[in-house]
Amino acid sequence: MPASSSITDAEFARFQQLIYQIAGITLADSKQVLLVGRLGKRLRALGLGSFGQYYQLVTSPSGQGERQTMVDLLTTNETYFFREAAHFDFLRDAIVPAHPRGQNLEVWSAAASTGEEIYTLAMVLAESMGIHGAWRILGSDISTQVLAKAERGHYWLERTRGLPDAYRHKYCLKGVRSQEGSFLIAPELRQHTRFRQINLNTSLPDIGLFHVIFLRNVMIYFDNDTKRQVVARLVQKLHPGGYLIVGHSESLNGINERVQLVRPTIYRLPPRTP
């Protein structure tokens, strides 16, 4: 049966509720066209005749794999290297100089998407702490699809928006022959990174504590209750004195009282008192 390209308001409402339950994401009514565009391809690939049938599939016990595909399609967001560069300047100029020498600097990119943020962090830390220095980065995302891209560290040259030429020449390997027009993040950087699928809307796994957590440009999709729950979970993963950095259009005002504002979008868990 050919797939229908239309969705009823009731069907869309069910998908809104489902993605909220899974990921804490509030899908606005204005996103109905986006949902139809992204999921309509799956209906055609699976030979389903309606969004109602697709909903039945992704909510069935046997639909776990397709449910993850749905999440991947509905949560993928655009990103680029050195996005909101002031945050990386703060990392280099304020956080790194104050970090105890010889102690690993642990950083978590909690909404890593396709990895540009992770490798921007890696380049900044390689420059300021040395490419063989004591620093590590965890990259996580709810989407397995984008996380796989991030782990590969392989990008097309048109994806170099924001990446200084000097860094690209120093930390990236230019593709040749069949890989011409692309570049690979250098192994010396990638050895400092690890990746894990994490749903911030559920209890967090045992991933250790971090000195810096980047949670940027994802809370705009959460309602206030979800923001409070997610931020509370992340704050528990901060070392005393650790920093939580959010996107330039985001704020933790009224969301969490444990972290203190350092400057707009940069918050700190107070250090442990002697």
In terms of pLDDT, which residue wins out, 177 or 234? 234
d(CA 31, CA 40): 14
> Annotated catalytic sites, by residue?
38, 141
- For position 250, what pLDDT does the model report? 94
65 by Cβ neighbours in 10 Å (0-12 / 13-18 / 19+) ranks as: exposed
The CATH code for residues 9-75 is: 1.10.155.10
| The pLDDT of residue 163 is above 80 | yes
| The pLDDT of residue 4 is above 70 | no
CATH number of 86-268, picked from 3.40.50.300, 3.30.360.10, 3.30.465.10, 3.40.50.150:
3.40.50.150
Ranges for all domains in the chain classified under CATH 1.10.155.10: 9-75
How many other CB atoms sit within 10 Å of the CB of residue 73?
17
d(CA 113, CA 149): 8
- For position 2, what pLDDT does the model report? 45
| The pLDDT of residue 177 is above 90 | no
On whether the CB atoms of residues 155 and 168 are closer than 8 A, the answer is no
pLDDT tens, position by position, 85-136: 999 999 999 999 999 988 999 999 999 999 999 999 999 999 999 999 999 9
| The pLDDT of residue 76 is above 90 | no
Range in 26-35, 55-64, 70-79, 201-210 the model is least confident about? 70-79
Ranges for all domains in the chain classified under CATH 3.40.50.150: 86-268
Q: Supply the pTM of this predicted model.
A: 0.90
Q: 214: helix, coil or strand?
A: strand
140 by Cβ neighbours in 10 Å (0-12 / 13-18 / 19+) ranks as: buried
